[in-house]
Structure 1
Amino acid sequence: MLLTVLGCSGSAPGPRSPSSGYLLEADGFALGVELGNGTLAELQAVRDPFTLDGLVFSHLHPDHCADFSALTVLRRWHPAPPVDPYVNRLPVHAPKEAPTRFAAAYAPDRAELEDELLTDVYDFHPLAPGVREIGPFSVTVAQVSHPCEAYGFRFTHSGVSLAYTGDTGVCDTLDGLVAGVDVLLGEASWTHRDNHPSGVHMSGLELGELATRAGAKRLLITHVAPWTDPEVVLAEARTTYTGPVELVVKGAEYPIAPR
């Protein structure tokens, strides 16, 4: 597997830093994971969006899905697409409200909303806890702790695993999802303090604790908010996790292979 970071800014884009977006590839299959503010531009720098084979969204906050509307414009209005988007509808695995929420973001006005469910160019698959096959990936889906319907994922291919927390506070389902993972791509939106609201995000300290409990072989930190010092988040994680750990950056590639 190859993980490419299209964007990693948490909660909102930062200066020259798109929000959450990733590309996961294996066996010639390209899976987009999130498409937050600014990530479609970054995707076009590395791959033609028409060559995506699927999309996965952990939840429907804008910093994880805002560029879906721009992708819809591209798929519907490109004058000479390399594939017919109406024949080759793009599979989209997302929370159950995604078709109506995405249509509302795209529709030009309320009168046209009912006719704009976007199923002409997308094939929507509602998420639920369990295991599903997406191309060459076996994907374990777990509901996590966030103020909306939200999921974390574990992608397995050829015996190697990558877990992605999505946005979440500490929760038991997350521990089960990431246990024994090869690479943990985890959010740490803020630095640690005891009076943070529960069930929203993790700190660097909490993410490091999660990686240690999981026995993760490697930790990649993402989703640091633009108003949070990433070096402090990294230092916190290093106090609770002794394995290889780093902050991801836009444009970086991470091969996910046995160590």
Structure 2
Amino acid sequence: MRLVIVGASGSVPGPASASSCYLVEAEDEHGRTWHVVLDLGSGAAGSLQRYLDPRELDAIAISHAHADHCADLAVMDVYLRYSDPDGPAVVPVHGPFGLAGRIAELRGVDEHSDVLPTIAWQPGVPVRIGPMTLTCAAVEHPIPAYAIRVEGPSERGGDAVLTYSGDTDACEGLEAMAEGADLLLCEASFLERDDQPRGMHLTGARAGQIAQRSGVGRLLLTHIPPWIEPYEAVAEAAGEYSGPLGAAHAGMRVYL
């Protein structure tokens, strides 16, 4: 599997990055490359086109329905519907219950999208997309939200595991999804020094604690908002996690 960071900015698009969007790719036994996007936040649909034609996507997986994680589903509908004179393309969207209505709201219409059919997450029930298997667990956020575990073929042979936190505070669901993962792509929207509410987001320190307890091979912090310097979140995590870590940035590629 390969991970491409399409957008990593937290809460809002930043000057150098769209909001949350992560492209995961893997080849099957026949050599066909499968493409799955984890989240499609504000500004991400444009950036995604640097890496592939969005019509080539096999699925979109949405962690939750806040705009910085799903807003560009509205423009994705337009792209899939009108970009090819031979007709529209269809890309299934896995996400929280009610996402079809959220997409309609973002599009400013009443009817559900026929080019972005939605399938509601069922925690613990695997979703097979080519050579990749996606499993989710509910996490702690003000609206229904999920961490997503992706298992698929490793670039080095065998299997690899990527866990994406979505937006969450520390919770059992995230730790279950992160257990033994090769890579934990984990949000770090807050800093310990700031007086921020609980039950919404992680700090770099709490992300590091989860990575350490879960025994992950590598920690990559993401969803850092433009008003926080990434090195601050990384420094917090380094105080809690003994493995390799860093901060995600747009255009970064990780081979698992």
Please tell me whether the aligned partners of residues 154 and 161 of structure 1 are also in contact (alpha carbons under 8 angstroms): yes
Give me the whole-angstrom Cα distance separating, in 2, the residues matched to 1:245 and 1:210.
13
Match of 2:147 in 1: 152
Which 4+ runs in 1 deviate beyond 6 A? none
**Aligned AA (2:52):** R
Match of 1:110 in 2: none
By how many angstroms is 1:197 displaced? 1.4
Q: Deviations over 1:81-110 (max 9, x none)?
A: 5xx43xx52111011111011111113xxx
Match of 1:41 in 2: 46
Please tell me whether the aligned partners of residues 8 and 249 of structure 1 are also in contact (alpha carbons under 8 angstroms): yes
Equivalent pairs, count: 245
Q: Deviations over 1:111-142 (max 9, x none)?
A: xx33x211x21221011201222222111110
Please tell me whether the aligned partners of residues 2 and 253 of structure 1 are also in contact (alpha carbons under 8 angstroms): yes
Match of 1:101 in 2: 102
Match of 1:91 in 2: 92
By how many angstroms is 1:163 displaced? 0.4
Match of 1:201 in 2: 201
Give me the whole-angstrom Cα distance separating, in 2, the residues matched to 1:243 and 1:64.
28
Please tell me whether the aligned partners of residues 100 and 117 of structure 2 are also in contact (alpha carbons under 8 angstroms): no
Match of 1:128 in 2: 122
Give me the whole-angstrom Cα distance separating, in 2, the residues matched to 1:172 and 1:53.
30
Match of 2:212 in 1: 212
Counterpart mapping for 1:215-254 below 5 A: 215-254=215-254
Q: Deviations over 1:125-179 (max 9, x none)?
A: 0112012222221111100000001000110113210000000000112111111
Partner of 1:45, secondary structure, is coil
Structure 2 portions without partners, runs of 5+: 28-32, 154-158
Counterpart mapping for 1:26-65 below 5 A: 26-27=26-27, 28-65=33-70
**Aligned AA (1:69):** A
Partner of 2:181, secondary structure, is coil
Give me the whole-angstrom Cα distance separating, in 2, the residues matched to 1:132 and 1:40.
23
Partner of 2:6, secondary structure, is strand
Match of 1:73 in 2: 78
By how many angstroms is 1:34 displaced? 0.7
By how many angstroms is 1:15 displaced? 1.2
Give me the whole-angstrom Cα distance separating, in 2, the residues matched to 1:31 and 1:17.
19
**Aligned AA (1:78):** S
Q: CA RMSD in A?
A: 1.3
* TM-score for both structures, normalised by structure 2: 0.92
Structure 1 portions without partners, runs of 5+: 108-112
Please tell me whether the aligned partners of residues 128 and 143 of structure 1 are also in contact (alpha carbons under 8 angstroms): no
Give me the whole-angstrom Cα distance separating, in 2, the residues matched to 1:46 and 1:53.
14
By how many angstroms is 1:16 displaced? 2.7
Give me the whole-angstrom Cα distance separating, in 2, the residues matched to 1:230 and 1:34.
21
By how many angstroms is 1:79 displaced? 4.7
Give me the whole-angstrom Cα distance separating, in 2, the residues matched to 1:76 and 1:89.
8
Give me the whole-angstrom Cα distance separating, in 1, the residues matched to 2:205 and 2:181.
19
By how many angstroms is 1:75 displaced? 1.4
Give me the whole-angstrom Cα distance separating, in 1, the residues matched to 2:84 and 2:164.
36
Match of 2:15 in 1: 15
Please tell me whether the aligned partners of residues 5 and 22 of structure 1 are also in contact (alpha carbons under 8 angstroms): yes
